[in-house]
Amino acid sequence: MTDAVVIPGGKFGPGAPLLMYAGDVAEQRGATIHRYSWSQEYPKPDQPEIETWVDGEIAPLIDTISGRPLLIGKSLGTNAAAIAAERALPAIWLTPLLTLPWVADALGRATAPLLLVGGTADNVWDGDLARRLSPYALEVEGADHGMYVPGPLTESIAVLSRVVGAVEEFLDAIGWPSQP
């Protein structure tokens, strides 16, 4: 059995559109989806303690899953990059907190493939760093931390479609899930 763990950001749960659709891509490939919700209010997200807190929230769930699940996280959830690096788990990181040194360091330690998705109007995105960390990076011109772009809402919905396409292409490229 193949599993994927969906790890939310700070403002919205695992059913937010970016996370929902990324998880749906994995589910359409036969994965059992574990949509996690934070059990309590999180500490300051820009302090190193947040990484330990996220680990305490997410590691127990991952420990219940046999095999190597795919991690799908957004923003605050990208503090789980250390778990992915330590356990060699493939991951999809939506609007990763690349300006936090511990997140960037964990992403740099990753041995399993990872997809990084962000926008040029997001102050925690660093496109150059993303491209150095992974050959799988989608950078959307003008997109903010929610992956919204200026203009009509339909333009932001088109961005969501691009993200879903990037997730599908990434999973195809890495052969996920691998066939027995």
Residue-level pLDDT, tens digit, the chain, 180 residues: 699 999 999 988 888 999 999 999 999 999 999 999 998 887 787 888 999 999 999 999 999 998 899 999 999 999 999 999 999 999 999 999 999 999 999 999 999 999 999 999 999 999 999 999 999 999 999 999 999 999 999 999 999 999 999 999 999 999 999 744
Is residue 180 domain-resident? no
Q: Is there a contact between 94 and 117 (Cβ–Cβ < 8 Å)?
A: yes
Is residue 57 domain-resident? yes
Is residue 42 domain-resident? yes
Q: Where are the alpha helices (DSSP H) in 34-77?
A: 49-63
For 67, left (φ over 0), alpha (ψ -120 to 50), or beta? left
Domain total of the chain = 1
Is residue 117 domain-resident? yes
Q: Write down the pLDDT at residue 180.
A: 43
Domain with residue 83: its CATH number is: 3.40.50.1820
**Dist CA 60 CA 48 (whole Å):** 20
The distance in angstroms from the start CA to the end CA of the chain is: 10
Q: Write down the pLDDT at residue 1.
A: 67
Residue 119, classed as helix, strand or coil, is strand
Domain that holds residue 78: 3-174
pTM score: 0.96
Is residue 179 domain-resident? no
Cα 8–chain centre separation: 9
Is residue 139 domain-resident? yes
